[in-house]
Amino acid sequence: MKELVDFLPKSIKFNSASDDLKEECFNFLKSFELQGKSQLTIVEYSRTISHFITFLENYLGHQVKLVDIKNLDKISISSYLAFYRNPEKNNFLKNIKNNFQSQKYFFVTKTPKKILDEDKVFFSKKDTLKLLEDLEIFFGGQIKKGIEIEKSIKIKNVYSKVERLRRNGCIKLDKVKKEKSSRSVARNISVLRTFIDFLSKSNKWENHAINKIESSKYISRTDDKVFEEQDIIEFLNFIDPDIQSKNINDKFFSWEHRRDLAILYFLYSSGLRVSEILQFKMKDYPFKEYTKIIGKGKKERYVIILDVVNEKIKHYLNNLLESETSITLEKNDPLFLKYINGLKKNLSSRDIQRTMKKLINGFEGNYPIHSTPHSLRHSFASHILRGGTDIRAIQELLGHSSLTSTQIYTELNEKTLLDVYDKSHPHTGKKE
């Protein structure tokens, strides 16, 4: 139990729980540990439960006991869920004019990389270009309140125009608290159900009020995270020194860039998570076409690794050995590593996120709003689904425990669905 307590953040100590409830909390988390759940999963569950108990202490007016959890009614649980979704209700987007003066803003750019379709006419006007120039001078790199903008920029409906600039990335709000997404609320309910179900079985409770709470319905959107197929090819070609020859960045020939390039090819061609790619050692290379990995929740699965991945890793390793003549690679070294001051270190997920952001910022083609390393996994799944791959096969490749997690990729546009249907259904008569 001590080991379990040690890796929990200091903020999660269940101080709002009485001794009997606190003991049950740790028994619950210990059961997850015995099931082989990751530390990350256990921490996230403990954080949600701690948040729930802290709310109940304020709601009930006393330290929370085990019997209080047993006697919770539907109204109490619903009150917590409403609090979780939005502890400080923010009506900014619903009432721009009334909230504009108290909001704080900072200037980002005069030329957004992407403009929303409904704002294209607005950005084509000379008045808008003049406004952007005035705002850039006015902000001067500082954070300003809306009331300051209104007093200094004398134009009609300035609050509405600033909002348009904000939603296209020219101006940003400073530290706005956002309402939790429906998906986040659904995840929260799931954690509470699992926790209270554990308590109910341990203490022989029946008909708990949590069972009267409907599961939160949410639509998981991937369209702002998925590259179009041609766009991802153009992006990879743009950053690949073996393909790109015109106006290429000199840094693209470094071994560090070739390492990052190999990782991005790996992510897109296999659908792996970043954490799964970082588990590989030097002894794992070169990869077989079908390679076994340890995925989320310590579950084993096989993934397909294309020749292009082995090729990019080969280029990375050759460049590493040529550039760092003093380095010696051991079989148990991480396959993707950092070499700093003569020391080999593990590459982190954050390192890859920073690299992706930097490369996207230099790319002038099309890309999704949320272009992260994980968006390559989304793109992999979406693209092979469009190609007609069975949804259950995709579930296996991604390592999803539930088919529900995989079904978010079935939200394709009507044309794509019809194309797949026409090519696959025997009654269409449209075989190639």
Contact 347, 337 (CB under 8 A): yes
Note whether 22 and 1 are within 8 A (CB): no
Catalytic residue among 273, 312, 378, 383: 273
Residue 75 vs residues 55, 64, 165: alpha-carbon distances, Å: 14, 17, 41
**Which tokens hold the place of 211?**
């069972």
In the residue annotation, 273 being an active-site residue is answered as yes
Q: Name residue 133's beta-bridge partners.
A: none
In whole angstroms, give the CA distance from residue 215 to residue 190: 8
Cα angle 414, 416, 421 (rounded to 5 degrees) comes to: 95
Catalytic residue among 225, 377, 378, 383: 377
- Residue 201: other Cβ atoms inside 10 A: 9
- Which of the following is catalytic: 145, 172, 374, 386? 374
Conformational region of residue 247, where left means phi above 0, alpha means psi within -120 to 50, and beta covers everything else: left
Cα dihedral 363, 230, 408, 119 in deg (nearest 10): 60
The two most distant CA atoms of the chain are separated, in Å, by 71
Quote the CA–CA distance of 305 and 288 in Å, as a whole number. 7
Reply yes or no on whether 377 is catalytic. yes
Retrieve residue 98's tokens: 């009334």
Active site residue 51: no
Active-site annotation holds for 400: yes
Give catalytic residue positions: 273, 296, 374, 377, 400, 409
